[in-house]
Amino acid sequence: MSLWWGRAVLARLRVPVSDRVVVPTLVIAFALVAWLALGGSLSRTVATAAVADAADDGAPAISIREAQFCQLPGLSDRMPGAECAWQTVPLARMWSGHRGGQPQVDAWYKLRFHLDAVPARGVAMYVVAFNRTGRLFVNGQYVRQFGSMTEPLPLNWNRSQYAFMAAGLLRAGDNEIEIQQRAYGWEWAWLAPVQLGSENRMLAMWRLRVFWQNELVRVLGVSTATIGLFLLGVWLGRRTHAMYFWFGCVSLLWTLISLDYFALYPPLPAHLWEGCMEAAQVLRAVLMFMFTLRYCGKRWPLVELGAWVYLVLGAAAMFSNVLPSYAMDLWYLGTLLASVVYFVMLVRQGLRVSLLEGSMLAVAGATQIGLSGYDLWLYSSSTWTDRVYLTHFSAPLFVGVVATILIQRFVESLNAYERLAAVLEQRVSEKAAELERNYEQLMEARRNQALAFERGRIMSEMHDGIGSQLTLALSLVRRMDREANPGAPAEDSQVATVLRESIEDLQLIIDSLEPVENDLLTVLGTLRYRLQDRLGKGGIDLQWNVVDLPPLPMLTPHSVLSILRIVQEAFANCLKHAAATRITVTTGLTGEPGRDEKAHIAIIDNGRGIDGTRVGRGLENMRRRAGALGGTLQISSSARGTEVLLMFPTLREAG
């Protein structure tokens, strides 16, 4: 399926695809698969451990690190007696049946432990390593079998074992575990230290070990196989790009090697499979070397031939059983040293492309070389206590990084001419958009210029025409009132009051047309200047507690007039009806800027309040104007005074 997908990509990638999309997508997809598997198993393990803590039956925790050991020359399903050369050995002792010349050989272990009392729910056993198969007895009673005892024997070298011993099989005092172990005569076998404890706790430890050593490796193997098939599909469409072929083979080989970590019964006979797995490590290094040369754009025929000869001669010697163990270690060490060489070549080439690519290769390559060296050290060790091979964890990381870089390069090569056309098209679009923006700005400037001219003309006409006539009429009315009533107090008559309020309304309209640069305080300051004298004559102390506000985009001439009308009406109500001696004006902002930010203006007096049974047209007009602003008007009144709170959004409504 992945092979077909790779070829299909070649056929359909004529549409421009951004490498900035491909690279993160592949990395995220690859990481997602691994982390989903990791998270699922870890959550299950944590839950199991929680159950273990909650339901622990008090079984003692015992660690057995030595045993009585007896190796037989052949097979025996009965535990040998004193005739066998029993000896005390540390766990994990590695033993081999090479000297017996038999296809399969047996060994027996006797492990002793003491119980002060028999736990009601029995005791569980956990072993981190047991190669290859066998049977478990407790106090002479059969418990379980660790796999098939006949050909083919299961591949248990990297698989921990778990067994449960019921309370009926145990006794207070000394107990004995007998383990029959069977392995091939040509391989090494071992039994790691044995852990005893409660069923829940041992089961949780065993499941966690199985996840890290087996289940996760299976998931990562599927991931590398998918990448390998995809790259081979890409190579089938671009035969001249050999590096896709070589790295596709590397990815598939990693998947094949991962089978050795989780498959119980591999697809080949045991001896042949073992030899293939040992040769596969060197083959991987040769394939990586071939890929590195193609990645760097190099061809070294003699060196390439030498690498293949190194592989073939070593594999032939190994399959012919003429390669001793120390020579096998040296064979692997040679590949590890060669991997350092092609690692340096990869990083240098990556850094020539970009710092990111070189850094990715450096991290992935250094991780793989370090873990490979650690595994080689484990492989050459003569004991097996708690081995955890780690190279297979670094392989998917390295495969994923290199595959991501290869696909990125491939997409870049396919999109080269599309990017050129896209750049030209983008430039044309940018120029067209720039011309359109300039045209819109020019038209907006002309409209604003026309509006400013017309606004200035109207303001001038209103001030010089209607304003002058109203001011002259007010002066005449006041003079006539003084001549008609020489001794009367200097108060405006009804006609003079109407004229004065008309002048104030006209001034209000003119003020709303003045440019205020979206500054609310300028608007309110102008109104304060207009009303200060009138409030002072009315015996009202004006407290101006306003704060600096940022520019408000919604302050158009229409909205300015509405705000001035509302505030003017609030002041007028205080003068006419409230009998107040103090008026306080405050401003502020609430909400999040750019989203639901609102400005508010509060006019608070200490008058006698508003009669709730009478709602005048002035209050209705104030609410209507507040609604036109997209805001609200709240009026709170009591015997101690009245508060008028106007709230409106700071942003201009679209359209």
CATH 1.20.120 fits 2-49+207-414, yes or no: no
- In angstroms, the CA 128 to CA 192 distance is 6
- In angstroms, the CA 293 to CA 304 distance is 9
Torsion of CA 108, 113, 115, 121, to 10 degrees: -50
**Ordered mean pLDDT values, 10 residues apiece, the chain (655 residues):** 42 41 44 46 46 55 91 84 86 73 86 92 90 91 91 87 92 93 87 91 91 87 87 83 87 88 87 88 89 87 91 88 80 82 85 84 83 76 68 78 78 74 84 87 75 62 59 63 63 62 63 60 71 73 78 72 78 76 84 78 82 65 81 82 84 59
User: 315 CB contacts (<8 Å, ≥6 apart)?
Assistant: 275, 279, 282
Largest Cα–Cα separation, the chain: 149
Identify the pLDDT of residue 479.
Answer: 65
- In angstroms, the CA 211 to CA 202 distance is 14
Identify the pLDDT of residue 16.
Answer: 39
Q: Are 279 and 311 in contact, with CB atoms under 8 Å apart?
A: yes
Q: Are 155 and 266 in contact, with CB atoms under 8 Å apart?
A: yes
Across-strand partners of 163? 125
Q: What is the DSSP letter of 169?
A: G
Identify the pLDDT of residue 19.
Answer: 41
If you search the block for the tokens 């109500």, which residue do you land on?
573
Q: CA-CA distances (angstroms) from residue 178 to 107, 137, 184?
A: 11, 5, 20
pTM score, whole prediction: 0.55
Strands, sheet with 130-131, edge to edge from the N-terminal-most edge strand: 94-96, 188-191, 130-131
User: Tokens at residue 296, please?
Assistant: 């760097």
User: 132 CB contacts (<8 Å, ≥6 apart)?
Assistant: 147, 153, 154, 155, 156, 157, 181, 182, 183, 184, 187, 189
Closest CA to 346 of 376, 332, 366: 366
Across-strand partners of 73? none
Closest CA to 568 of 517, 503, 473: 503
End-to-end, the C-alpha distance of the chain in Å comes to: 53
Dihedral sign for Cα atoms in the order 453, 456, 457, 458: positive
- In angstroms, the CA 248 to CA 226 distance is 10
Angle between helices 216-237 and 242-262 (to 10 degrees): 160
Q: Are 215 and 41 in contact, with CB atoms under 8 Å apart?
A: yes
Burial string for 225-253 (b: 16+ CB within 10 Å, else e) reads bbbbbbbbbbbbbeeebbbbbbbbbbbbb
Identify the pLDDT of residue 263.
Answer: 87
If you search the block for the tokens 């690190």, which residue do you land on?
65
Closest CA to 178 of 167, 165, 197: 165
Q: Phi-psi region for residue 591, left (φ > 0), alpha (ψ -120 to 50) or beta? A: left
- Which residue type occupies 550? P
Length of the chain equals 655
Three-class SS state of 345: helix
Specify the CATH class of 518-655 in words: alpha beta
Read out DSSP for 462-512?
IIIIIIHHHHHHHHHHHHHHHHH-TTS-S---HHHHHHHHHHHHHHHHHHH
Q: What is the DSSP letter of 611?
A: -
Specify the CATH class of 59-197 in words: mainly beta
Identify the pLDDT of residue 244.
Answer: 85
- In angstroms, the CA 456 to CA 479 distance is 33
Identify the pLDDT of residue 13.
Answer: 40
What is the domain partition of the chain in residue ranges?
Answer: 2-49+207-414, 59-197, 434-514, 518-655
Q: Phi-psi region for residue 58, left (φ > 0), alpha (ψ -120 to 50) or beta? A: left
Identify the pLDDT of residue 398.
Answer: 79
Identify the pLDDT of residue 177.
Answer: 94
Cis peptide before 172 (omega within 30 of 0): no
